[in-house]
Amino acid sequence: MEKLGNLLRTNYIVKICELLAVFLLAFIIIKLFLQPDGDNLLYNQGVLWAANIAMLLLVWLGLKLRGESWQDFGLGFKKMSFKAALRVFLLSLLVFILAVAGFIIGSIIMANITGIPESTDLTNYAYLKNNLGMLILSLIGVYIVSSFGVEVIYRAFLINRISELGMDTKKARIVAVIISAIIFGLVHYSWGPMGVVQTGCMGLVLGICYLKLKKRLWILVLAHAYMDTLLLVQLYLASN
C-alpha cells in the first residue's frame, strides 16, 4: 500500500490511471444497471447516485493511499466562529449567483448557435409529482450525493489531480479548470446539447471560484446545494 501511495504521488502514468479508474467505475455501474428506457425513475436515480458514491470512495481511497485527507481538497471540519460562518454563507451566495450567471450564459451561447433553445430532459424527476415526502428525501440525498459529491469529484479531485500532472503551475491549474468544466458538462449529456453547454459554463465558473477562494470547497458545496434546492423545488411546484 505504501508503494502504491508513493506511485500515486510521483508517477504520472499511475496518476492518469487513477483519474481514468474513477470515471471508468462510474461508467461500468451505469452501463450495467441503468435502464435507458425503463419506467422505474427512482431505480435509475438510485443507480446514478450509487455511481457517484462509488466514485467518492475511490477518491477517498486515493487520498488515504497518499497519506492525505479531505483537508487537502479544502474540506476542513474545524469549528468556526459566527463571523467566519457568516462569511462562508455570504461567499456561498456570491458563488451561487455567479454559477447561475454561468448557466444563463451557456443558455445564451446555445440559443445563438441553434436558434431555438432545446428543452431540457428532466423526466428522471417525474417521481416528485405531488409527493412532498419524496421531495424532502430527494433533497437530503441530493445534498449528500450531488451537492457534496459532485463538488468533491468534479472540482476538488479533477482540478487537483490534473494540476499535479502539470507540476501544479498556474497554466496547469487553468487547463485543469477548463478540462473539469468540459467533463462536468459532458456528464449531463442526458440534458441534451443545451444542458451540456449550460452545465459546462456553470462548471467553469465553479472551478474558477474554487481556485480564487483558495480551495475552500465548503463554499462551493453550499452554493451547489442552493442550486439543487432551487431545481427540485421548482420541479415539485411545477408538477402541482
Whole-number Å distance between alpha carbons of 234 and 10: 46
How many residues are listed for the chain in this entry? 240
| CA trace torsion 156, 96, 24, 6 (10° rounding) | 0
Average pLDDT estimate for 75-91? 92
Average pLDDT estimate for 15-22? 97
214 Rama sector, left if φ>0, alpha if ψ -120 to 50, beta otherwise: left
Average pLDDT estimate for 141-161? 95
| CA trace torsion 60, 16, 178, 23 (10° rounding) | -60
pLDDT at 89 over 80: yes
C-alpha cell read off for 142: 441530493
Average pLDDT estimate for 82-88? 95
Whole-number Å distance between alpha carbons of 130 and 31: 31
Q: What is the reported pTM? A: 0.91
pLDDT at 9 over 70: yes
Cα 158 to its chain centre, rounded Å, is 10
Q: Can you say whether the dihedral through the CA atoms of 31, 153, 144, 191 is positive or negative? A: negative
191 close to 157: Cβ distance less than 8 angstroms: no
- 106 Cβ contact partners less than 8 Å away, ≥ 6 residues apart: 194, 197, 198, 199, 200, 201, 202
